[in-house]
Structure formats: structure tokens, C-alpha cells
Amino acid sequence: MLVKVTQIDIDNGVPCDGCLCPIALAIDRDYNLDVKVHADGGIVINDGEKETEVWAGYEAASFIESFDDGNEVNPFSFELDYNN
């Protein structure tokens, strides 16, 4: 699954809120999935039938840490190993 975090996702994101993290907003926008992002890069995806936890990878985990710390972040894309 290709996740594309846009500037709009970043602008609308809320630091330290796993449901309103820019990554969660991007996944919800593109795939209509209920998502909670953890500070360590873990992502819990609920497709309405089951919950699956996956790891977003180092680049996404670094983005989450920077965003939560209030640092400037830029749009980026990453591949998430998730198949519903």
C-alpha cells in the first residue's frame, strides 16, 4: 500500500494524536480505513472486520517523531506492508 502524506495532511494533523497524525489522515483519505498511528511507527488498521498492526518503517517513524516534537516536516510517500 502506497501512503502519500501531503502538505494538507501535515497542516490538518495533530501532534501526539494517533488518529489525527498526518499518516493516519493520509491512509484514511486514500483507503477509507480506520487507523491509529503509534509514536514508535506501529500502525493499527481497522478495516471494519479485523484489526491488523503493521510497522511503518524507519522513515515514517522518524517523520512521526519529528512531527510530534513540533519540528517542521515535509510531504513524503512510503510503502506500507498491508494487504486487507
Could you please report the per-residue DSSP string of 3-42?
A: EEE-HHHHHH--TT-TTSSHHHHHHHHHH--EEEE-TTSE
Is this prediction's pTM over 0.85?
yes
Is 30 a member of any domain? yes
Is 68 a member of any domain? yes
pLDDT of residue 10: 98
CA distance 27 to 72: 21
pLDDT of residue 22: 98
Is 13 a member of any domain? yes
pLDDT, one tens digit per residue, over 20-62 is 999 999 999 999 999 999 999 999 999 889 999 999 999 999 9
Range of the domain at 68: 2-79
Is 84 a member of any domain? no
Is 49 a member of any domain? yes
Mean pLDDT of 62-67: 97
Q: How many domains does the chain have?
A: 1
Is 46 a member of any domain? yes
Is 55 a member of any domain? yes
pLDDT-derived band at 83, boundaries 50, 70, 90: confident
Question: C-alpha cell of 4?
Answer: 502519500
